[in-house]
Amino acid sequence: MNTPEGIKPVAIVGGGWAGLACAVELTEAGTPVTLFESARQLGGRARRVDWNGVPVDNGQHLMVGAYRETLALLGRLGTHSFLERRPLELHVPGFRLRLPRLPAPLNLAVGLAFAQGLDLRDKLAAARLMNFLKDRAFRLAVDGRAAEFLRGQQQPANLVDKLWGPICVAALNTPVEMASAQVFCNVLRDSLAGERADSDLVMNRADLGLLLPDAAAALIAGRGGEVRTGCKVEGLRLEGENLRLAGPGLTTGRVVVATHPSRLPELFAGLPGMDAIVAQSAAFSWQPILTLWLRFAESPRFPFPMLGLGGGQSPWAFERNDLHPGLAAIVVSAEGPHLTMPAPELKDEYLALLARRLGPLPPLLDWKTIVEKRATFACVPRLARPANATPIPGLYLAGDYTAGDYPATIEGAVRSGVKCARLIIQDRGPGIY
Ligand SMILES: Cc1cc2nc3c(=O)[nH]c(=O)nc-3n(C[C@H](O)[C@H](O)[C@H](O)COP(=O)(O)OP(=O)(O)OC[C@H]3O[C@@H](n4cnc5c(N)ncnc54)[C@H](O)[C@@H]3O)c2cc1C
């Protein structure tokens, strides 16, 4: 892509999945972009990390078939071959659910009928809840806490413990007692009540860097755009109808801010009309995710690549031989007592849980914990999330926290980035590019 004389690129601040999705969409539409990323590498909260020469992910991620924008993006970049897709199976001690390859909603009905660890009352209650939600197009009259909503729907405790609670924590990264019932229902709508393939588990079988950041950066650079890593934008200033990026010193007519929302107060200080957005971003609270990486002398035998380990915080273990033979990740979502445990104790506890599932484990060569303290916003009821367009013409917001049906996820981030790009393409005015 050759930028015509005098044409200013769209500036994108932040090279996480939202910023990269936006940059790819604009680049493919022939719109020049310059992307600024303060870290030395791209990917944000879904990035590659080097662990003594072995590439791992900053945190184990999981996608589902309903991630349409993400899967379409990776398809266009040719990296979808790094994904492994399987019909939903949940293997947890005392519970097993497997959805067969049958058309929806038969797949869910048959899956529930044969689920192990649920009694007839649980199964009927699950079917009743899905029917109740379908009749209301998954819209609740009033949002509240997911746990209260489930109690109101007479969902048995065993069903909440084994199915609804773990789905809520895994998808919203927020304990069911504090999570938004409406967002939880959105997740059920788009996964369990969608088309058959929407509930598929989609696992990355290469590090997250290979999935999007590397391919996106190559595409952008190959078409005349620019990606500047290690380049922090300190703030934005209005200059007539343009915006100036303090730090890199670029002035341009279109800017997409695709940072973590906690950065907005600093970036927007002094910008007129942005107070409401800054106040919204200040109202978010955060939930952590802990990943324990384990490197064994040889591969432990996983009967399925994703296994629930049971235990208080519902940890999940993932077989990650794709990164290195003998590699496994244990991921623990949301806040909990595990975060105050000394790392060696935590490692021993989760190793014991893994051994209970898999039998004797091969010798452990190395281990490492990564705690992302602000992994996602706490997805609580009635959270006000800012729109992608802002009161300042030419200034847009992308990120998993912007208005949308999804909790803080890769899909939410990608959707927001794509949406910003489409708004920009739609609004394209003369003399800007
Ligand atoms: C451990 C972990 C596990 C997760 N598991 C899942 C999962 O299983 N499934 C799922 O769908 N989602 C999961 N998520 C959530 C998902 O990773 C995020 O929702 C998504 O990556 C957010 O992308 P983003 O682009 O909105 O924000 P970010 O990734 O936060 O990107 C913002 C970028 O902006 C950069 N930046 C900030 N300030 C500036 C500045 N001033 N100038 C320039 N650059 C700046 C940052 O360095 C960062 O790279 C997980 C997250 C974590 C942390």
Q: What tokens does 260 get? A: 């973590």
Of 42, 83, 259, 332, best ligand 1 pocket probe by most atoms within 8 Å of the beta carbon: 259
Average pLDDT over residues 83-106: 95
pLDDT at 143 over 90: yes
Ligand 1 centroid distance, CA of 258 (Å) = 9
- The 8 Å CB, 24+ separation contacts for 399-406 are 399/14, 399/16, 399/18, 399/258, 399/259, 399/260, 399/261, 400/17, 400/18, 400/376, 401/261, 401/281, 401/284, 401/377, 405/183, 405/186, 405/190, 406/183, 406/186, 406/187
Q: How would residue 13 be classed by pLDDT, with cut points 50, 70 and 90?
A: very high
Ligand 1 centroid distance, CA of 75 (Å) = 21
Q: What residues are paired with 172 via a beta bridge?
A: none
Residues with a CB atom less than 6 Å from ligand 1: 13-19, 36-39, 44-46, 58-59, 61-63, 232-233, 258-260, 263, 289, 291, 372, 375-376, 399-400, 408-411, 413
The predicted pLDDT at position 311 comes to 72
The amino acid sitting at 70 is: T
Q: What tokens does 163 get? A: 């199915």
CA distance between the termini of the chain: 12
* Nearest atom of ligand 1 to the alpha carbon of 408: 19
Average pLDDT over residues 75-95: 96
Helix H or strand E encompassing 110: helix 106-114
Per-residue pLDDT tens over the stretch 36-56: 999 999 999 999 999 999 999
Ligand 1 centroid distance, CA of 43 (Å) = 7
* Nearest atom of ligand 1 to the alpha carbon of 399: 26
> Which phi and psi angles does 81 have, rounded to 5°?
-70, -15
* Nearest atom of ligand 1 to the alpha carbon of 260: 30
Average pLDDT over residues 221-236: 97
CA distances, 296 to each of 52, 175, 209, 360, 398 (Å)? 14, 31, 23, 12, 39
Average pLDDT over residues 190-211: 95
State the Cα–Cα distance between residues 231 and 11, nearest whole angstrom.
12
CB 97 within 8 A of CB 308: no
3-state secondary structure at position 75:
helix
Ligand 1 centroid distance, CA of 408 (Å) = 9
Per-residue pLDDT tens over the stretch 290-335: 999 999 999 999 999 999 998 777 899 999 999 999 999 999 999 9
* Nearest atom of ligand 1 to the alpha carbon of 14: 34
The predicted pLDDT at position 111 comes to 96
Is the torsion defined by CA of 135, 137, 143, 147 positive or negative? positive
CB 12 within 8 A of CB 259: no
Of 69, 207, 410, best ligand 1 pocket probe by most atoms within 8 Å of the beta carbon: 410
Ligand 1 centroid distance, CA of 122 (Å) = 36
Ligand 1 centroid distance, CA of 90 (Å) = 26
The predicted pLDDT at position 429 comes to 53
Protein residue with its CA nearest to atom 12 in ligand 1: 409
Average pLDDT over residues 175-197: 95
Average pLDDT over residues 10-34: 97
pLDDT at 341 over 60: yes
pLDDT at 2 over 50: no
Ligand 1 centroid distance, CA of 364 (Å) = 30
Of 73, 409, 420, best ligand 1 pocket probe by most atoms within 8 Å of the beta carbon: 409
Per-residue pLDDT tens over the stretch 152-167: 999 999 999 999 999 9
* Strand pairing category for 33-37 and 10-13: parallel
Per-residue pLDDT tens over the stretch 343-358: 999 999 999 999 999 9
**In which residue are the tokens 């007129």 written?**
272
The predicted pLDDT at position 314 comes to 83
Per-residue pLDDT tens over the stretch 355-387: 999 999 999 999 999 999 999 999 999 999 999
Q: What is the pTM of this model?
A: 0.96
pLDDT at 223 over 80: yes
Helix H or strand E encompassing 392: none
Of all residues in the chain, the percent with pLDDT exceeding 70 is: 97
State the Cα–Cα distance between residues 265 and 284, nearest whole angstrom.
12
* Strand pairing category for 395-397 and 364-377: unpaired
The predicted pLDDT at position 430 comes to 42
Ligand 1 centroid distance, CA of 42 (Å) = 10
CB 108 within 8 A of CB 167: no
Of 20, 34, 61, 406, best ligand 1 pocket probe by most atoms within 8 Å of the beta carbon: 61
Q: What residues are paired with 431 via a beta bridge?
A: none
- DSSP assigned state of 362: P
* Nearest atom of ligand 1 to the alpha carbon of 36: 43
Ligand 1 centroid distance, CA of 343 (Å) = 24
Ligand 1 centroid distance, CA of 424 (Å) = 22
* Nearest atom of ligand 1 to the alpha carbon of 61: 8
Per-residue pLDDT tens over the stretch 384-414: 999 999 999 999 999 999 999 999 999 999 9
Q: How would residue 239 be classed by pLDDT, with cut points 50, 70 and 90?
A: very high
* Nearest atom of ligand 1 to the alpha carbon of 413: 26
Alpha-carbon 269 to chain mean position: 28
Average pLDDT over residues 140-157: 97
Alpha-carbon 383 to chain mean position: 18
Ligand 1 centroid distance, CA of 410 (Å) = 8
